């Protein structure tokens, strides 16, 4: 462990001493967005505190969680600029050459791609990205990682925000950033409301080996009663993502690996041949969130705390990374110019820019999910007509491809 990161393993010192601990920026949440923001502030001369309820080992070496992240070209550039991309093993990066949307038994498919030689994006496991970002922070001065801390209360003032942890430790900084999930405690403490949609469905994800060749093509199949996606990984492996009502997912998750592999093969109608699990299954309840504001006096929200996307368009991570890099750039520039890093002008600029980038795709995604998961005959007819029309309009698929690739 590099000495550049000062890990507070001990709660030494009196309550009075701890209450005097100050930083320039306090980030609550050491997920990808929080880690990325800390890395984006490198070289700014700011002292950063990263507060996380998990133990240090879980931050430094995250467990495999089954989630494969579809990275756009823009996200790859951002990770490279942060110094994280080269820390991801080459064999952990899979090419995404094309994406296809299928609807029930319709013969029409909507395809997004850029040709056989160019990648639509890259697929990388979430835990590898988080580990790479942590490794970046190991080499940076001025970062205090505070593990096993849970935030108890937040209070604001004209010049600083105070964050009190459950153990009584108090941090003060001119800027607080919430990066603590779509059910953000920081957001609630700041009095920021959010659109919260609990969908009553859950997502089962697992890595499978299969007989057929996926060709680097990701498939999202909105079948009657289920949504199943196959994300192409290296070799003849894919990440299977099955969405069903929560009770049905719980039943499938209880199956043994052989039975679950057989069930996935059946549900995917053998398109890739027999499927065998090569890792454990993970279950995630589905909910979407959109904060009514991304900023408050001396505070900002990034990542899922600001926008919690439905996974169907695979843009949640990309938006979260973009929010961290945007805020990091604004704060670092202000610090270099000797300006107030928590000013209302800076925070309003961040909010307006990220809202413009996120609201259209958030709304469009929810419309798509609503249309393609509805089971009444009218919705099925609209889906079929829409795919048929889009298949005959190449400008549509090229336009969506540019959005997905973010060149």
Could you give the angle at the alpha carbon of 177 between the alpha carbons of 304 and 20, nearest 5°?
145
Average pLDDT over residues 274-300: 96
Sequence-distant (≥ 6) Cβ neighbours of residue 266 within 8 angstroms: none
Q: In which band, very low, low, confident or very high, does the pLDDT at 396 lie, cut at 50, 70 and 90?
A: very low
> Please, what is the average pLDDT of the chain?
86
Q: In which band, very low, low, confident or very high, does the pLDDT at 380 lie, cut at 50, 70 and 90?
A: low
pLDDT at 30: 96
pLDDT at 381: 59
* Residue 46 near residue 194 (C-beta atoms within 8 A): no
SS3 of residue 246 by DSSP: helix
pLDDT at 9: 40
SS3 of residue 58 by DSSP: helix
pLDDT at 161: 94
Residue 130 has pLDDT above 60, yes or no: yes
Sequence-distant (≥ 6) Cβ neighbours of residue 347 within 8 angstroms: 295, 296, 298, 299, 300
* Residue 149 near residue 26 (C-beta atoms within 8 A): no
Please give the structure tokens belonging to residue 357: 């980038």
pLDDT at 22: 80
pLDDT at 103: 73
* Residue 178 near residue 186 (C-beta atoms within 8 A): yes
Burial 166-191 (b: 16+ CB within 10 A, else e): eeebbbbbbbbbbbbbbebbbbebbe
14 or 206: which carries more pLDDT confidence? 206
Q: Which of these, 256, 219, 257, lies nearest to 238 by C-alpha position? A: 219
What proportion of the chain, given as a percentage, has pLDDT over 90? 69
DSSP line for 64-91:
P-S-EEEE-HHHHHHHHHHT-GGGS-GG
Residue 126 has pLDDT above 90, yes or no: yes
Sequence-distant (≥ 6) Cβ neighbours of residue 269 within 8 angstroms: none
120 or 144: which carries more pLDDT confidence? 144
- The answer, as to whether pTM is greater than 0.85, is yes
Residue 398 has pLDDT above 60, yes or no: no
* Residue 72 near residue 121 (C-beta atoms within 8 A): yes
Q: In which band, very low, low, confident or very high, does the pLDDT at 18 lie, cut at 50, 70 and 90?
A: very low
pLDDT at 377: 63
pLDDT at 365: 79
pLDDT at 364: 80
Q: Which residue has the tokens 């199956």?
A: 255
Residue 74 has pLDDT above 50, yes or no: yes
* Cα 405 from Cα 121, distance rounded (Å): 6
Please give the structure tokens belonging to residue 390: 């889009």
Residue 24: enclosing H or E segment and its boundaries? Answer: none
pLDDT digits (tens, 9 = 90+) for 308-359: 998 876 778 999 999 999 999 999 999 999 999 999 999 999 999 999 999 9
The rounded Cα 405 to chain-centroid distance in angstroms is: 16
């Amino acid at each position: 462990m590099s000495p550049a990161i000062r890990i507070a393993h001990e709660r030494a010192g009196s309550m009075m001493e701890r209450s005097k601990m100050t930083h320039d920026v306090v980030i609550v949440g050491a997920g990808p967005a929080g880690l990325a923001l800390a890395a984006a502030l490198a070289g700014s001369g700011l002292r950063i505190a990263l507060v996380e309820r998990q133990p240090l080992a879980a931050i430094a070496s995250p467990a495999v969680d089954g989630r494969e992240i579809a990275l756009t070209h823009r996200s790859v550039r951002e990770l490279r600029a942060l110094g994280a991309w080269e820390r991801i093993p080459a064999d952990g990066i899979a090419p995404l050459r094309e994406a296809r949307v299928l609807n029930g038994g319709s013969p029409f498919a909507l395809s997004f791609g850029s040709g056989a030689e160019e990648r639509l994006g890259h697929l990388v496991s979430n835990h590898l990205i988080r580990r790479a970002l942590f490794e970046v922070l190991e080499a940076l001065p001025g970062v205090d990682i505070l593990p096993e801390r849970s935030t108890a209360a937040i209070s604001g003032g004209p010049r600083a925000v105070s964050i009190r942890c459950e153990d009584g430790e108090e941090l003060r900084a001119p800027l607080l950033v919430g990066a603590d999930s779509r059910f953000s405690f920081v957001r609630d403490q700041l009095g920021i409301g959010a659109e919260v949609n609990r969908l009553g469905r859950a997502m089962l994800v697992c890595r499978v080996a299969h007989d057929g060749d996926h060709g680097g093509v990701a498939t999202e199949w909105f079948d009657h009663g289920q949504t199943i996606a196959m994300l192409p990984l290296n070799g003849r492996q894919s990440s299977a993502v099955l969405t069903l009502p929560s009770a049905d997912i719980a039943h499938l998750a209880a199956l043994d690996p052989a039975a679950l592999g057989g069930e996935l093969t059946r549900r995917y109608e053998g398109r890739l041949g027999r499927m065998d699990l090569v890792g454990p299954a993970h279950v995630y309840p589905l909910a979407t969130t959109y904060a009514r504001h991304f900023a408050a006096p001396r505070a900002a929200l990034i990542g899922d705390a600001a926008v919690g996307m439905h996974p169907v368009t695979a843009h949640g991570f990309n938006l979260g990374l973009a929010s961290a890099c945007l805020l990091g750039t604004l704060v670092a520039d202000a610090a270099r110019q000797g300006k107030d890093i928590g000013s209302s002008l800076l925070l309003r600029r961040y909010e307006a820019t990220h809202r413009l980038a996120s609201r259209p795709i958030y709304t469009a995604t929810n419309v798509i999910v609503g249309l393609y998961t509805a089971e009444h005959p009218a919705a099925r007819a609209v889906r079929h007509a829409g795919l048929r029309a889009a298949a005959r309009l190449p400008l549509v698929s090229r336009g969506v491809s540019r959005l997905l690739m973010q060149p």
